[in-house]
Structure 1
Amino acid sequence: MNYKKIMFVFGASVLLLAACAGEEKGTEVEIEEEKSDATKSDEAEVESATEVDDALEELRTALEELKPKEVAANGDDSTILNPNIAEMTEGVVEVLYTNKEPSYAHDMDGFIITIDEYQVTKVSDVNRDSEYLFKDNVEGYVVTALATYENKRSNPVYYTGFASILMDDRFDEVNGDRFKLVPREDVLQSDDPASVNKYPAGFKKQGFLSFVMTNEQYDKLKETKPKLIIAGGASEREDMREAYMEEAVFDFIFNEDSKEKTVSGPDYYRDDLTNQNIADKKMIFEKKDIGQKLDIEGVEVTLEGVQYTEIRPTAEYADTFRNFADDGIVAVTVKLNVDNKSDEIVRLGGIQSILSVDDGEFRYLNQGSLEPDMLKTIEPGKSSEKLHVFLIDKYEFDRHENFELIFGPFSGDDGKKIFKGRDLLFKLPR
């Protein structure tokens, strides 16, 4: 056997393997170098993409900050009723309370104003141009009312009245504004180019009213018994004479707590002691659904009920009652319905009635300034509610036993007595 040859072959094989190994090693180095270059390129691309994403995110954030900001409370009533608040103020709008069925309506003989829905919102971080709305503050509150004006009369009606939220008294009100935070197309006004306050027959439009409040005014809602008032004043005459002057007054519910108090509390007659927050009442005795009817020359008067309440004047009106004794005051509020089937116009404010006590031993005159219908008249064929209010020192009331209402005499549209000055006599339950 030729060992040398074998050794050569083996040696060649080793050299071949070594050479192959050398080639593979060199290839691995080249591949690793190529991978390193590719990795660096990929990392650069990833880093570049990340920077682009970060820039886009910053741009989105900046654009989002430029948009009007809206924050809605949880629940079905969280939708913002008037998005223009956020758009115009660039502020954060938070829904606090929504009343979708307030049932506030004022029918002025066919000219009807209805509050269909309203919403209480807090507005904060407003722009500089909107600070004046909140007495130069960057936050406050807005009550938005969705209202409808409708003229069902056969003639045009002039109306310049407004709605307001009353707090302490008539000098402490927030008026509903048809223009503030309301776009032009939603302004509640007529399309008549000659007069935006002249509403033609058949007119009907829905739009917003804005009640703008400072923080202090909103806080006062919690301390008082706020009322929403829709003013009277609808007239078919441009000089506003012969207008329907009676206003409509409603308890203004602004949160769940005030809703509960309104629903669970006594249903007091809406004399001006209640409507104008003149005094707080505590029920002593009431009798409703009496239904006693009396007639005088075609005018049918029905005694519907009577309430005896102990009243405590509010701080703003305390001095008005200074002539009463310190141990308390009792208000007697009598509710009647007057159905005018006569040919005469009857002036409700002209009915000067007397509360006769204990067979005439004491006689009390009605307090016309506390009766909400002083300016109202009843045309033939029409009917209306009438409230009479009488005030008595509590110590005197406690010893009285028998009460009678002498209703009348009546007066006509010119203020003169009608029906020969006669009156009607009702016996009141006690």
Structure 2
Amino acid sequence: MKKKMGVISVLSTALLLSACSNHDDGSTKKAEKKVETTSQSESKSKENNASFTDKTSSESAKNGVLNSYIADSTKGQADVIFNNANPKIDLNFDGFKFKVSHYQVVHVKNAENEPYSFDGDKEGYVITLKATVENQTGGKAYFNNPAVQGKDEYNTKQPDVSLVDETDRVKPKKDGTPSNPAYYDKGESKTGFIQYELSKEKYEILVKEKSKLVVSNASKDSMMREHLGEKQIVDFPLSDASAKKQKSDNKFFDDQIVTKNIAEKTLLEQKNEINEKQSQNNIELTLTGVQFTKLDPTDSFKNSFRGFGNEDIVAVTVKMTVKNGSSDSLPINQFSAFLDTDAMHYFNQGSLESDSGDVKSGQRGDKYLVFLLKKSEFEKNKNFKLKIRHIEGNSGDALKDHELSFNIKR
């Protein structure tokens, strides 16, 4: 039987995800997304050798506020409305370490010196992170402080510095310039505050979302080309309600549908501990588990899913464990894979997939493959065959043109 092909098309300005090429759909223009950013103030030329002072143990701390400079600077009332003293955010980017030991949301009222970010109001909110960076890479490292993601990747908030004392800012000791950015020297560490200021209106929107902390990788060079590790997106709830929502999402595999809030998932079926192994050219692939979920795309991505008509969308997320038995490191971000039924041939959706980063020789890493089906196609098929055709390594196909296949039974 001749199989129909599932096709994906990707435009530079929009993420377009298709079910099958034989379903017509009109072109839809994706609305431009405005990314909210706040630029940091220009660096001072003098060297900053001051150490961090923990305001939590100081008598000047008021109402449990980590950073007393907020009240001192605004001359307003500062109250903690959400507090997470154990966020468990401890990341390692190939020796460059970033840790958040505590964060909180502070409500500022009756400010006499309100910051620009409060949009002219005397009331606003400040998210404060107590964070530590430590450069143990053996050389210099460039690193940008993380952003807070709201409903999706098109809604992010960059750090602000106006309500952080100069000595308490998380930044390298030596200042940089636009042409020669600052970097952390070998062995350098810094503990301090990273903050995000929001108006009342913007905070009330953000707090309802399943917010994330987007921590970009460090780099050996100022152009951020020589990666140290890979970008990580971690849960960052700003209220008890948000924390409960994110906890309920922990049952889902960490593909980009989840991490970028592309769609809400409803679990249909799941198979764990399959542990079927296939090997080729010193690369061992283990099919660990499969999740079938119904998707409800978020507003920013509703027009990105094409070819499903009026049917519900089903995502098949496959968790693979990759063991690298070769002598070189193995990038696992580019897989060519197919999911077959008797009648259909589905391509993997690379823009929805995620992985744990390059796998060093002798180590293991995780890869999440994603395929999209119509709900009717999911319902009538109980057997699937997963085919891995190509893994783009540092020297071409790591599988050397050999295909590995796995049977998936519902």
Q: Shorter-chain-normalised TM-score: which range?
A: 0.7 to 0.9
In the TM superposition, what is the alpha-carbon distance from 1:119 to its structure 2 partner? 0.3
In the TM superposition, what is the alpha-carbon distance from 1:141 to its structure 2 partner? 0.7
Instruction: Spell out, residue by residue over 1:254-276, the C-alpha distance to the aligned partner (whole angstroms, 9 max, x if none).
Output: 22222233334551111111111
User: Which of residues 388, 393, 399 is equivalent to 1:419?
Assistant: 399
In the alignment, does 2:317 pair up with 1:337?
no
Equivalent position amino acid for 1:251 in 2: D
2: CA distance, partners of 1:329 / 1:231: 30
2: CA distance, partners of 1:148 / 1:97: 21
Aligned to 1:230: 215
Given the superposition, is the C-alpha separation of residues 419 and 260 from structure 1 closer, same or farther in structure 2, using an over 3 Å criterion? closer
The number of equivalent residue pairs is: 348
Aligned to 2:386: 405
Aligned to 1:356: 340
1: CA distance, partners of 2:397 / 2:62: 62
Aligned to 2:171: 189
1: CA distance, partners of 2:148 / 2:221: 28
Q: Is the 8 A contact 1:271 1:333 kept in 2?
A: yes
Instruction: Spell out, residue by residue over 1:271-292, the C-alpha distance to the aligned partner (whole angstroms, 9 max, x if none).
Output: 1111111100000011223332
In the TM superposition, what is the alpha-carbon distance from 1:222 to its structure 2 partner? 4.3
Which of the two has greater helix per residue?
Answer: 1
Q: Is the 8 A contact 1:246 1:372 kept in 2?
A: no
2: CA distance, partners of 1:294 / 1:96: 51
Given the superposition, is the C-alpha separation of residues 152 and 364 from structure 1 closer, same or farther in structure 2, using an over 3 Å criterion? same
In the alignment, does 2:367 pair up with 1:386?
yes
Using the aligned pairs only, state the percent identity. 32
In the alignment, does 2:126 pair up with 1:146?
no
2: CA distance, partners of 1:193 / 1:165: 24
User: Which of residues 239, 242, 252 is equivalent to 1:268?
Assistant: 252
Name the SS for the 1:211 alignment partner: strand
Matches within 5 A, 1:306-345: 306-345=290-329
In the TM superposition, what is the alpha-carbon distance from 1:395 to its structure 2 partner? 1.1
1: CA distance, partners of 2:399 / 2:247: 42
Equivalent position amino acid for 1:425 in 2: S
Given the superposition, is the C-alpha separation of residues 221 and 289 from structure 1 closer, same or farther in structure 2, using an over 3 Å criterion? farther
In the TM superposition, what is the alpha-carbon distance from 1:176 to its structure 2 partner? 2.6
1: CA distance, partners of 2:162 / 2:359: 37
Given the superposition, is the C-alpha separation of residues 322 and 274 from structure 1 closer, same or farther in structure 2, using an over 3 Å criterion? same
Name the SS for the 2:382 alignment partner: coil
1: CA distance, partners of 2:103 / 2:409: 40
Given the superposition, is the C-alpha separation of residues 288 and 266 from structure 1 closer, same or farther in structure 2, using an over 3 Å criterion? same
Aligned to 1:172: 155
In the TM superposition, what is the alpha-carbon distance from 1:144 to its structure 2 partner? 0.2
In the TM superposition, what is the alpha-carbon distance from 1:245 to its structure 2 partner? 6.2
After TM superposition, the structure 1 stretch with the greater mean CA deviation from structure 2, 275-284 or 192-201, is: 192-201
Q: Is the 8 A contact 2:70 2:78 kept in 1?
A: yes
Equivalent position amino acid for 1:176 in 2: P
Q: Is the 8 A contact 1:301 1:337 kept in 2?
A: yes
Equivalent position amino acid for 2:401 in 1: G
Q: Is the 8 A contact 2:334 2:350 kept in 1?
A: no
Q: Is the 8 A contact 2:175 2:182 kept in 1?
A: no
In the TM superposition, what is the alpha-carbon distance from 1:386 to its structure 2 partner? 0.8
Aligned to 2:279: 295
1: CA distance, partners of 2:379 / 2:204: 38
In the alignment, does 2:243 pair up with 1:259?
yes
Give TM-score, length-normalised by structure 1: 0.75
User: Which of residues 94, 114, 119 is equivalent to 1:109?
Assistant: 94
Name the SS for the 2:71 alignment partner: helix
Given the superposition, is the C-alpha separation of residues 148 and 366 from structure 1 closer, same or farther in structure 2, using an over 3 Å criterion? same
1: CA distance, partners of 2:224 / 2:206: 33
Q: Is the 8 A contact 1:329 1:391 kept in 2?
A: yes
Equivalent position amino acid for 1:325 in 2: G
2: CA distance, partners of 1:104 / 1:266: 15
Given the superposition, is the C-alpha separation of residues 189 and 131 from structure 1 closer, same or farther in structure 2, using an over 3 Å criterion? closer
Higher relative contact order structure (alpha carbons within 8 Å, sequence separation ≥ 6): 2
2: CA distance, partners of 1:261 / 1:255: 10
Equivalent position amino acid for 2:349 in 1: Q
Instruction: Spell out, residue by residue over 1:188-214, the C-alpha distance to the aligned partner (whole angstroms, 9 max, x if none).
Output: 122235666322222222111101112
After TM superposition, the structure 1 stretch with the greater mean CA deviation from structure 2, 234-243 or 88-97, is: 234-243
Name the SS for the 2:323 alignment partner: strand
2: CA distance, partners of 1:99 / 1:113: 17
Equivalent position amino acid for 2:234 in 1: F
In the TM superposition, what is the alpha-carbon distance from 1:84 to its structure 2 partner? 0.9
In the TM superposition, what is the alpha-carbon distance from 1:357 to its structure 2 partner? 2.0
2: CA distance, partners of 1:151 / 1:382: 23
Give the root-mean-square deviation of aligned CA atoms.
2.2
In the TM superposition, what is the alpha-carbon distance from 1:394 to its structure 2 partner? 0.7
Q: Is the 8 A contact 1:246 1:373 kept in 2?
A: no
Q: Which of these two proteins has the greater Rg computed from alpha carbons?
A: 1
Name the SS for the 2:322 alignment partner: strand
